[in-house]
Amino acid sequence: TQSVFAVGNFGRYRNAVSFGQIVFITKDEMLTSTIGAPGMSGSAMYSLNGTLVGLHAGGYGFIEHVPVCSTAVPGGRIKEFLADVF
């Protein structure tokens, strides 16, 4: 597993930092144990050395309306998309 963190606007908290682990990853999807709450979508997800590893997409697996995991678009997929656009 790889440790990751995301910085986003979680509810009323600005620049909230959420730490977690990559739980599962494919070419097109990544599942992490970071907070998947509203306001975190679109936030960058980084490795602990600061490398962009993905973009937060949403919450996954809810317990009493609280997401227990989050989904993200892996960095490799973002790189491919940008190469196609530019």
> Which pLDDT tens digit goes with each residue over 31-44?
999 877 778 888 99
Structure-model confidence comparison of residues 55 and 63, the more confident one: 55
Instruction: Choose among 48, 34, 46: nearest CA to 78.
Output: 46
Q: How many CA atoms lie within 13 A of 63 on its CB side?
A: 3
In percent, the amount of the chain with pLDDT more than 90 equals: 53
Mind listing the pLDDT tens digit for each residue in 5-34?
Answer: 998 888 788 898 989 999 999 999 999 998
In degrees, rounded to 5, the angle at the alpha carbon of residue 45 between the alpha carbons of residues 18 and 27 is: 130
- How many Cβ atoms from other residues are within 10 Å of residue 81's Cβ? 11
pTM above 0.75, yes or no: yes
Q: How far is the C-alpha of 16 from the C-alpha of 49, rounded, in Å?
A: 18
Q: How far is the C-alpha of 33 from the C-alpha of 56, rounded, in Å?
A: 11
Residue 47: its pLDDT value, please? 95
